[in-house]
Amino acid sequence: MRSWAWAVVLLVLQGGIAMADTTDVWDQVEHKYADANGVKIHYAALGQGPLVVMVHGFPDFWYTWRKQMRALADAGYRAAAVDLRGYNLSDKPKGVENYAMPLLVGDIAAVVKAEQVERAAIVGHDWGGSVAWNVAMRRPDITRLLIICNLPHPAGIAREIATNPQQKKNSEYAFNFQKPDAHKVISLERLTQWVTDPAVRPRYLQAFQQSDVEGMLNYYKANYPKPDAPPPPENFTFPKVKVPVLMIHGLEDQALLPGALNGTWQWVEKDLTIVTVPGANHFVQQDAPELVSNTMVDWLSRRRQ
C-alpha cells in the first residue's frame, strides 16, 4: 500500500481528519476583537473574500450564524459574526446609557475597521437586525448591502406597537424587560429553551453564563418603544437606506408580526427583496438554515463587486 494510503488509514483509526465534522464552524473560526472606543467587541471570522458582518439578537451569540457562516465561506466570502456588547466574550459595560443605538452602531463600525476594509455587507437578526438597520441609516459609508432576518424596519415596528392591538399584546414581554429589576428573574436555562438542537444547547448556556443579563435587557430599556408610545408623527422621517436590502421573515414569529413589513419600501432607496418563510419562527436562520443560507449567498453573489 502506498504511503499516502497508510496515512489516510492512520487518520481514520485515530479519529483524525476523515472523522471530523467539517460542517460545524465552532473549532474552525478565528476569534478576534475590535476596539469600539474602549469597549472590546469579540467576533468570530471564517473564510476569505468580501466582508459580511453578522449581528445576532436576544438571547443569542455569534454561533447563531454557524450555518450561514459555512455557506458564505464556501461561496468565497469572509463572514464575521459579532458578539454584541453585553454578550459572551465581548465587554459588558454597566448602565443603560451604554446600550444606546449610536454606540451599538459604533461597535459594528469598529469590526469593519478591524477587518481593514472600507465597507461590508451587514446582516442582522432581532436586535442585531435593529442595529443593522441603523448601521445602514447612520453609516452608509461602511454599508455595501443590507440583509435583515425577522426584524422589520424600526418605523414599522413602532407603528404596529402603537396601532395594532395584537402586536402590542405580543410585545408585553419586551415591556416587562424594560422594568428596572427584570434581569433578576431571568433564568439562564430558560434562555436556552428556544435552541432546537440539543447538541449545541450547552454552548448557548456557556455563552449566557459569560454574558450580562442586565446588559442584554438594556437593549430594550435604551431602544425599544415604550408601551404608551404614540405612533411616529406623519412628518417624522428616518434616513433612507441607500443600498439594496434583503429581508427574510419567518411567518410564525409571534414577537414581531409580519404586518410590520408593510411600507418598508418607503424607507429604502434601492431594490428591496422580501422573502417570507411559512413554518419558520422568530429564529429563521436556524429554523430554515438551508433556505436562509442559499438565499443570502445567491442574493449577495448577484450584487458582488
E strand map for 47-132: 51-55, 78-82, 120-125
Is 173 part of the annotated catalytic residue set?
Answer: no
Can you tell me whether residue 268 is helix, strand or coil?
A: strand
Which amino acid type is present at position 186?
Answer: I
Is 126 part of the annotated catalytic residue set?
Answer: yes
Is 228 part of the annotated catalytic residue set?
Answer: no
List the catalytic residue out of 212, 220, 249, 287.
220
List the catalytic residue out of 42, 125, 153, 282.
282
Residues in Cβ contact with 32 at an 8 Å cutoff, skipping those fewer than 6 apart = 42, 43, 44, 45, 80, 114
Give kind and range of the element (H or E) at residue 34. strand 30-36
**C-alpha cell belonging to residue 110:** 469598529
Can you tell me whether residue 36 is helix, strand or coil?
A: strand
SS (H, E, C) 100-125: CHHHHHHHHHHHHHHCCCCCEEEEEE
List the catalytic residue out of 126, 212, 253, 287.
126
Where in the sequence numbering do the catalytic residues fall? Answer: 126, 220, 282
